[in-house]
Every structure is written in C-alpha cells, then in structure tokens.
Chain A
Amino acid sequence: MLRVDVTKQLGDFSLQAAFESQGRVTGLFGASGAGKSSLINMIAGLLRPDRGIIALDGEVLDDTSAGIHIPPHRRRIGYVFQDARLFPHLDVRQNLDYGRRMNKLAQDPAQQKRVTDLLDIGHQLDRRPGQLSGGERQRVALGRALLSKPRLLLMDEPLGSLDEGRKIEILPYLVRLRDEGIPMVYVSHDAAELRQLATQIVMLKQGRVTALGGVKVLT
C-alpha cells in the first residue's frame, strides 16, 4: 500500500496532495502542470517534500516531522521516465543489467530472459541506445527498471514522447507488465490510456487532488 500526504512549494506553484492507494496500478491523472511529475519524483525520492509523509507497505520513506528521508537508491522503487534516460555509454545488455549490479543481486538469467522476451528486446542486446528507435528505447527502459526488482514501479508518461503508432506498439507491453503483478504508479494526461491500465485513479488539478476512486472518475 502506498500512502502519500505531502506539501511542496515550487516557485509560484504549490502542491498539496494526499491519497492512499491499494490498487495494483494507481493512475495519476491531470493536465500538464498539475503537479504529477513533482508528486512522482517525491515518491521516487528525487524531490523532498516540504512537509509530509510518504510510506510504502508500512515503511516510511519520507517523514519530515521525524527528519526521515530515504535516498532514492535505497528505496527499491523503479522509475520509467518519459525520455527513457538510457545510459548512452552502455549497450542495451549493460543498461538492463545496471540495476542488478547496483543492488548487488545475484545473476538471474531466467528472469532476464523472461523480461527481454516480454518486451521483445532480446535481439537488441548488443546495440547502443543511440541506435534504437524511440519505442525500442522505451521498452529497454521498462526492462531496465523491471530487472532492478523494484517493489513499486513508477511510470512518468512512458508513452508521452511517442507518436500514435509507437503508443499502440508499447501499450500491450504495459498491459502485460500490469498483469505481472508489480504495483505501479502510472502518470498520464491521457484518460484513454489510464482506462486501459489503471485500477485506481488519483486526479490532480493545479496541485490539488480533486478526485479519487476507480477508473469511472475519469468520465
């Protein structure tokens, strides 16, 4: 279970959001500038709340009143960015293996094969990120986050930088991923996307939560 109750001032913009989510896929829905990315960055630990609490499965990740802030590398929270952010100096295989190395996990060829099959990137392991298309890069980024064995997967508009054709290409993989059972927080401004993927919706508007509930709140 994910529990978030935070406030953050960013210039003129004030974010004040509280929600709890039991859902397997929590959809963070809102227009651009609603505060979705700031919120997800706080869950990842990349941004510190001014005040408040973030807890995952009973473990406190941030508690400003107790002075607790677990840094991102100790949260075991995977993050798929809109712009993939693959490491340009590493090939696809090394990118995929990065999280395992950093977390000092044992080699797991079976899991590696499952993930590369799931995302159809097995034939690209020796290529560099610069040689991949946008859709391929995003699939590798998904695989890289998955293989770090996170307990929660954050996705910040993973389809946002792709054209319609590419979105249709990636969406089935996201559905497969959801059915893998890893809890996810999925950020999007696209209601149709969230209707397909999310099990619970948090609607944000100008830094405030305006609606909470099942996907029907999107209508």
Chain B
Amino acid sequence: MFEISPAEWTAILLSLRVAIIATLVATPFGIALAWLLARYNFWGKSVLDALVHLPLVLPPVVTGYLLLLTFGRRGLVGAWLADNLGIVFAFRWTGAALACGVMSFPLLVRPIRLSIEAIDRRLEQAASTLGAAPWRVFATVTLPLALPGILAGMVLGFAKAIGEFGATITFVSNIPGETQTISSAIYSLIQTPDGDTAAGRLVLISIVIAMSALIASEWFARRATQRLHGN
C-alpha cells in the first residue's frame, strides 16, 4: 500500500517543480499588483481587480482553453514567444507552471494586498523624514512589514498550484513525465481498472501537502499580527 511507484514519484516531483516555479515567478508580479491595488486609485482599477480574480470564478477549463488560444503554438503570444525567444508552453511542464500560476494568482495577491493595506502609512512618512527615498521606504519599511502576508500568499498560491487540474489538463494535456501532475495522475488512475490503491496513495499525499500549506499559512498570519504590533 505504501510503496510509491517510480511513475507516481515522477508525478509528485513534477507537481512540486511546477508549483514551486509557478509560485516563485508569480510572486514579484503579485507583489507589484497587490501594491498597485492597495495604494492607488486609477481608471480601470475595478476592471483590473476583477481580471485578477477571474480565474477564481471561471470554470478552470475555460481558463485553460483561453491559455491554449493565447499561449499555444499558434496562439498570438505563444507563436511570438516560440519564434523570438524560443519559449514554448504548449504540452510542456512550463505550460503547466503557467496554468498553475494563473489559477493561483488571485490567492497569492489577496493576502499580500491585505497586509499592505494594513501597514500604517505614517511609518512610511517617518521613514521619508529620516532621509529614505521612496524606493528605500518600500524596501526597508513596506516590504518587511508586508512579509508575513507575502509568505502567506505564497503558501496559499503554492497549495492551489499543486492541486490545479482543470486548466492544466486543458492547456497542456496529461503527458506522463512532462505535464502529468499529481492531480492528472489521480484522474488517469481512477479510470484504470486496478488503479484505486495508487490513486489512494496520491490522494493521501495531496491531503498532506495541502494541510501543511494551510497550517503554514495560518502561522504566517499570526506572525503578521505580532510583527505589526512590534513585539
């Protein structure tokens, strides 16, 4: 029961790689966007906000199909990237990472935005009167105070990315060793006559990963409150 087969290991490691890369690449964009949404009012802000949250409410298969249309080999962006930069997403693990990044983006951005909104802006004013230029205020005051929120967002985004199924399978299919993550491996296994035990193992592993991520996220949130109260 508890022997994990090489094929299952491949899926687990691929899932981890996809989710980690998706989270790390998405985080700087997430911070920038969270900061924009938390601090500025501009024309089209509510549209941008809705756009960020769209993957949360759209059927994942729709998001995946839109990714395929955009980033597929013949997609507008996909063709350009392949011809000019040699970056191919279609049916590659990088495409799985892209799909996971897009799907987990709303969950990544939200805690970061909340933690930036919670920062006392008068501390930033104090920093500027002490000689800190705006970007240094951001680096030495805003970012450290938002750090617990950033970590919480990364953990949540990671958990979402590792469990992503619909958009990934639509965009990059279910190729063992290339795009077959834990989720799509479970999907294949439960359609195989005697795949139940193997599926069960992967299910357990997903539960453990998801639970750890939630507990870690909770811990970071507690740290955030402590940090803002200066203890």
Contacts and interface: CB of A to CB of B under 8 A. Distances in A.
B129 A130 contact: no
A129 B120 CA distance: 15
Interface stretch (B18-26, B106-114, B153-161, B223-231): B223-231
Given A79-B126, A81-B122, A86 B230 contact: yes
B133 A73 contact: yes
B130 A89 contact: no
Determine the main DSSP class of B at the interface with A.
helix
A130 B229 contact: yes
A13 to B, nearest CB: 20
Given A85-B123, A144-B130, A102 B136 contact: yes
B98 to A, nearest CB: 34
A72 B127 CA distance: 9
Interface string A64-84: 000000011111111101010
Contacts, number: 79
A42 B126 CA distance: 14
19 contacts: A44-B129, A46-B125, A71-B128, A72-B128, A72-B129, A73-B128, A73-B129, A76-B131, A77-B129, A78-B129, A81-B126, A87-B123, A87-B126, A89-B145, A98-B127, A98-B130, A128-B230, A144-B130, A154-B129
A89 B134 CA distance: 18
Interface string A180-204: 0000000000000000000000000
Interface of B: 120, 122-123, 125-134, 136-137, 140-141, 144-145, 227-231
A99 B120 CA distance: 19
A103 B145 contact: no
Contact of B131 (A85, A89, A102, A131): A102
A74 to B, nearest CB: 8
B132 A102 contact: yes
Given A79-B126, A88-B145, A103-B130, 13 more contacts: A72-B125, A73-B129, A73-B132, A77-B129, A78-B129, A78-B130, A81-B122, A81-B126, A85-B123, A88-B229, A128-B231, A130-B231, A131-B230
